[in-house]
Amino acid sequence: MELSVLNIKGENTGRKVTLDESIFGIEPNEHVVYMDVRQYLANHRQGTHKSKERSEISGSTRKLGRQKGGGGARRGDINSPLLVGGARVFGPQPRDYRFKLNKKVKQLARKSALSQKALENAIIVVEDFNFEAPSTKSFVQMLNNLNVSEKKQLFVLPSANKSVYLSARNLKRTRVAIASDINTYVIMNADVLVIAESSLDAINNTLTKKEA
C-alpha cells in the first residue's frame, strides 16, 4: 500500500512511502485486538474498591433477639447485613486486575489494529516536523491543513519531542506517542493516525523483530 507524504501545510510533497504489508496489510484479528485492549484497560484499574465486612464494623455484639420464635429472619448483632447500617455481604475487596498476554499475541494485536486503520484509509503520513517553541496555535493550524481537526488523532513521532508534545497537550482530540511505544488501545481509540515519515522505520523495527 502506497501513501503520499504530506507536509504540515497539507500539501503533497511528491514523495510516496510503501507501507509494510506484513504490518499494515494483514487480515485483522478482532479477538486478539479485544484481548490486548482488555489487558491495557485492566492494567490501568486501581483495584482499591473496598466495603466493610461484618467483623470490620464497630458496634455492639449483643444478640438483638432470640434465635427462634420472633416471626422474622434470624439475626445476631447490630452489624448484621440484614439491618440498615450493617455490613455488606460479599462486598468488593482490593484486588489486582492485571493479567498477562504472550508477546506474540500483543504483536499480532498491534499489527491488526494498524491494518484495520489502513483498511479504513485512516492513516496520513507527514514529513518530519518540529516547532522551534511550543505553539498550540501552530499545531491547530496544522490540524486544519490536514483536515483532521474534527477527528480524534494519534500523532506518531519517531522520538520524544517536547515542543510538539507541549503544543498538543491542551487539545482534547489529540494524542502524541512515540512509534516504539504505541499500543493497540491508542491506535483503536483514534479516528485517524498521523504518522511522521521516519516513524515508519521505527514501527517496522518494533513489530518485525524476532522473538528470542
Mean pLDDT of the chain: 91
pLDDT at residue 209 in the model: 67
Same structural domain, 153 and 120:
yes
Do residues 79 and 86 make contact, with C-beta atoms less than 8 angstroms apart? yes
Same structural domain, 51 and 140:
no
The CATH number of residue 166's host domain is 3.40.1370.10
Q: Report pLDDT digits (tens) over 163-207.
A: 999 999 999 999 999 998 999 999 999 999 999 999 999 999 988
Is residue 138 domain-resident? Answer: yes
CA dihedral 120, 126, 129, 131 (to 10 degrees): -50
Span 4-26, mean pLDDT?
91
Is residue 38 domain-resident? Answer: no
pLDDT at residue 22 in the model: 92
Same structural domain, 115 and 178:
yes
**Dist CA 26 CA 122 (whole Å):** 16
pLDDT at residue 124 in the model: 94
Kindly give the interhelix angle for 30-43 and 103-119, rounded to the nearest 10 degrees.
110
The position carrying cell 501552530 is 138
Q: Report pLDDT digits (tens) over 66-93.
A: 889 888 888 888 998 888 888 999 999 9
- In the chain, the percentage of residues whose pLDDT exceeds 70 is 98
Is residue 40 domain-resident? Answer: no
Is residue 88 domain-resident? Answer: yes
Q: How many domains does the chain have?
A: 2
Q: Which domain holds residue 70?
A: 46-96
Above 50 in pLDDT, residue 61? Answer: yes
Q: Which of 80, 96, 112 is the last residue of a domain?
A: 96
pTM recorded for the entire structure: 0.82
Q: Report pLDDT digits (tens) over 92-117.
A: 999 999 999 999 999 999 999 999 99
Residue type, 83: L
Span 109-138, mean pLDDT?
93
Q: Report pLDDT digits (tens) over 199-212.
A: 999 999 988 865 43
Residue 160: φ, ψ to 5°: -65, 135
